[in-house]
């Protein structure tokens, strides 16, 4: 009798728990969808506007590729694009080298490594505009460094480095240093151990550091505003054009759409590279 | 090269003199010396923390000794030479195979860094694969291999560079029982056919007995005994050796009389006759250990025979355990619990006598280190 009662009670608890679980699942899915919608809705809307006849009204349709035609007929954006690509490439290379050098060391120096990581990452929490102002005060006004291409590269590098470092750390953290010992035992010197063993195994992280550096530099605006000197990057160009209330504005929609698609593609490649190693 | 090598054939391939290693306050090795003749198979045996792996790593160059008087490999002083320039190779317990390279590239790596041409590398890698009986695995990825296969690849990779000494750091530790036995035989076969000097580190006395003609037993950073398996088994230099080698019956007592070759030890009120280990001349009153292997014990239902040279204590058989090809029976006696090993499961008497020959009862000093100084 009591056994049967206890059994029924247990069944009730189990049923209630599975109902809770279903509810939790449904809520997770709902919030996830909402988040994605909030994040990508505007981007998708922008893409929709870029193929609409009167984008400034904010309503889609009738659809046309006329803005893209005009965009390619008026190549004023080409110089800023090339400038941005150049800066992004240099920042990307700098990120790969420095993030590898720092990232391969941090996991193996104990508590010092944890503190250093904090120091490297804390710069992420300084607002970008503030950092731009800080830079111009310290480097331009105090140290007298001239602004321009190199100050942009420097600011972008400072912005991208923590992300690049995290990319390398994901891989470096699971690197088995005993492999270097067995390579040494087999006769490999310091450089060969790095080239043959460590670098190939860290490569997904190094590559993703490069991608992060490239993308973050390519789309950087707040720091660039202060440190541009006479240089115009693509985001600066877009920003200036978008806020100028000229007939150029609809062109910017198309340009932004293209940049977004390209960035998205690169990001996907970077993340795939980073987490591919974990499956093997 | 070959000519100079043949001149040095009778010279030991490894000489280690007075090496000490400290990790912070921990003394891992305490003035250890070791000489290994060319072509030998030596086992460094000891419990964890005994310093055996540290000694191996010092030979490999992966650990820098705190102090060392001499370290010679093939007659060459290698104290200042880094691991990558020493002609020794290690098989690690974790194998250390490179996950991003194929099996073939792993094996060829030692030849690659020695700048051998690709054709030679490939040929020698294939030979090495043949040698470890995995001829068709050249193109495999490391993660596609089983534990036993990885072990063999690690072995092939180490041997392909033709090292003066092959160092094996608990190489069979991660394998299951059956595979371990197979690999033991495999290693013995390879060592015999290649004639390379092997130094094996293990914590398993069973493995040490199976594998090598010479066992160096370490404890707390010191060499406790260095000899053949028979030496360690039949003439343990200390209580630690007797225990570690798995001698089933180890007793402690005080010497009550020692006349020409016959030493009598009082153990819990019983007089036990035994033979001192070579080089040990006990004095009356000295505390000693006695070691008797289980297969030397007999159970008799009758009274103790009167003739000299046979020890006899009254016993009560307790637990009998079947061990596959023999039985171990625990006997309760006044000197403690003794284990008796029998091949046949004869009927056990209710009470009886445990008998053993005094020749099979070795006596050693309790404190060998203080006795020597």
One domain for residues A252 and A184: yes
Give the confidence band of B42 by pLDDT, cuts at 50, 70, 90: very high
Number of domains in chain A: 2
One domain for residues A113 and A195: yes
One domain for residues B141 and B215: yes
pLDDT for residue A279 is more than 50? no
pLDDT at B370: 46
Residues of B with Cβ-Cβ distance to A179 under 8 angstroms:
96, 98
Q: In B113-161, which residue ranges form alpha helices assigned H by DSSP? A: 118-131, 147-159
pLDDT at B371: 42
One domain for residues A162 and A248: yes
Nearest chain A residue (CA) to B87: A187
Residue B190 placed within a domain: yes
Closest CA to B233 of B247, B212, B222: B247
One domain for residues A81 and A46: no
One domain for residues A112 and A195: yes
Residues of A with Cβ-Cβ distance to B113 under 8 angstroms:
186-189, 192, 196
How many interface pairs between A and B have CB atoms less than 8 angstroms apart?
61
One domain for residues A7 and A123: no
Least confident of A18-22, A117-121, A178-182, B174-178: B174-178
pLDDT at A140: 78
The CA distance from B26 to B36, in Å, is: 27
Residue B309 placed within a domain: yes
What rounded mean pLDDT belongs to chain A? 87
Nearest chain B residue (CA) to A280: B143
Q: What residues in chain B have their Cβ under 8 A from chain A's Cβ atoms?
A: 60-62, 82-85, 88-90, 92, 94, 96-100, 109-110, 112-114, 143, 157-158, 161
Across the interface, whether the CB atoms of B96 and A201 are under 8 A apart is answered no
Domain ranges, residue B350: 250-365
Residue B304 placed within a domain: yes
Which one of A182, A192, A280 has the shortest CB-CB distance to B96? A182
Does A192 contact B at CB distance below 8 Å? yes
Domain ranges, residue A44: 2-50
pLDDT at B369: 53
What distance in Å separates residue B314's CA from the closest CA in chain A? 57
Task: Give B80-133 pLDDT, tens digit per residue.
Answer: 999 999 999 999 999 999 999 999 999 999 999 999 999 999 999 999 999 888
One domain for residues B70 and B160: yes
How far is residue B48 from each of residues B45, B51, B56, B244, measured CA to CA in Å? 9, 8, 14, 12
Task: Give B173-218 pLDDT, tens digit per residue.
Answer: 878 888 888 889 989 999 999 999 999 999 998 899 888 889 999 9
What distance in Å separates residue A90's CA from the closest CA in chain B? 29
How far is residue A82 from each of residues A76, A88, A265, A267, measured CA to CA in Å? 11, 10, 19, 20
Which residues have CB under 8 Å from A52's CB, separation 6+? A59, A60, A61, A62, A63, A64
Nearest chain B residue (CA) to A278: B99
Structure tokens at A49: 């506007």
Task: Give A75-84 pLDDT, tens digit per residue.
Answer: 888 899 999 9
One domain for residues A7 and A115: no
One domain for residues B199 and B95: yes
CATH number where B184 lies:
3.40.50.300
One domain for residues A243 and A151: yes
One domain for residues A106 and A42: no
What rounded mean pLDDT belongs to chain B? 88
One domain for residues A11 and A149: no
One domain for residues A145 and A94: yes
Number of domains in chain B: 2
One domain for residues A40 and A99: no
Which one of A179, A185, A187 has the shortest CB-CB distance to B98? A179
């Amino acid at each position: 009798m009591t056994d049967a009662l206890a059994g029924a009670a247990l069944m009730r608890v189990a049923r209630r728990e599975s109902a809770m679980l279903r509810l939790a699942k449904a809520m997770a899915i709902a919030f996830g969808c909402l988040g994605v919608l909030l994040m990508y809705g505007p981007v998708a809307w922008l893409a929709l506007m870029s193929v609409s006849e009167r984008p400034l009204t904010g309503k889609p349709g009738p659809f046309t590729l006329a803005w893209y035609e005009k965009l390619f007929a008026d190549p004023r954006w080409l110089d800023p694009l090339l400038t941005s690509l150049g800066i992004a490439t240099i920042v990307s290379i700098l990120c790969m080298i420095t993030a590898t050098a720092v990232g391969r060391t941090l996991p193996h120096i104990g508590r010092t490594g944890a503190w250093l990581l904090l120091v490297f990452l804390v710069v992420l929490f300084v607002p970008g505009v503030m950092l731009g102002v800080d830079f111009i005060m310290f480097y331009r006004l105090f140290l007298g460094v001239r602004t321009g291409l190199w100050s942009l590269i420097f600011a972008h590098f400072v912005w991208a480095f923590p992300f690049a470092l995290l990319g390398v750390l994901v891989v470096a953290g699971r690197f088995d240093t005993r492999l270097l010992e067995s390579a040494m035992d087999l006769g490999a010197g310091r450089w060969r151990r790095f080239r043959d063993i460590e670098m190939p195994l860290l490569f997904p992280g190094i590559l993703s550091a490069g991608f992060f550096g490239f993308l973050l530099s390519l789309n950087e605006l707040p720091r660039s505003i202060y440190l541009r000197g006479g240089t115009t990057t693509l985001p600066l160009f877009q920003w200036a054009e978008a806020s100028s209330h000229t007939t150029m504005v609809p062109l910017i929609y198309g340009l932004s759409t293209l940049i977004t698609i390209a960035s998205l593609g690169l990001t996907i490649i970077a993340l795939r590279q980073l987490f591919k190693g974990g499956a093997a | 090269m070959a000519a100079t090598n043949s001149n040095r054939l009778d010279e030991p391939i490894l000489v280690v003199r007075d090496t000490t290693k400290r990790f912070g306050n921990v003394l891992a090795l305490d003035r250890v010396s070791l000489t290994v003749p060319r072509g030998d198979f030596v086992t460094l045996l000891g419990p964890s923390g005994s310093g055996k792996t540290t000694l191996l790593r010092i030979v490999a160059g992966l650990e820098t000794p705190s102090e060392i008087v001499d370290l010679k490999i093939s007659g060459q002083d290698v104290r200042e030479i880094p691991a990558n320039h020493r002609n020794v190779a290690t098989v690690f317990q974790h194998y250390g195979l490179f996950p991003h390279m194929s099996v073939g590239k792993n094996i060829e790596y030692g030849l690659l860094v020695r700048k051998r041409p690709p054709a030679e590398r490939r040929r020698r890698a294939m030979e090495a694969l043949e040698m470890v009986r995995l001829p068709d695995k050249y193109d495999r990825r490391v993660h596609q291999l089983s534990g036993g296969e990885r072990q063999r690849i690690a072995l092939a990779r180490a041997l392909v560079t033709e090292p003066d000494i092959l160092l094996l750091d608990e190489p069979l530790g991660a394998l299951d029982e059956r595979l371990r036995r197979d690999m033991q035989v495999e290693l013995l076969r390879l060592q015999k056919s290649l004639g390379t000097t092997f130094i094996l580190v293990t914590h398993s006395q069973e493995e040490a007995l199976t594998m090598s003609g010479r066992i160096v037993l370490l404890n707390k950073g010191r060499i406790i005994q260095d000899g053949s398996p028979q030496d360690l088994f039949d003439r343990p230099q200390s209580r630690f050796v007797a225990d570690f080698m798995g001698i089933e019956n180890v007793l402690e007592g005080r010497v009550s009389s020692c006349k020409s070759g016959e030493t009598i030890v009082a153990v819990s009120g019983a007089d036990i006759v035994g033979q001192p280990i070579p080089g040990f001349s006990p004095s009356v009153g000295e505390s000693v250990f006695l070691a008797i292997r289980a297969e030397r014990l007999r159970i008799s239902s009758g009274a103790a025979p009167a003739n000299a040279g046979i020890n006899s204590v009254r016993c009560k058989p307790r637990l009998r355990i079947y061990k596959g090809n023999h039985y171990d029976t625990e006997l309760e006696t006044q000197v403690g619990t003794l284990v008796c090993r029998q091949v046949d499961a004869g009927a056990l008497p209710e009470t009886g006598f445990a008998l053993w020959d005094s020749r099979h009862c070795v006596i050693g000093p309790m404190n060998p280190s203080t006795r020597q100084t």
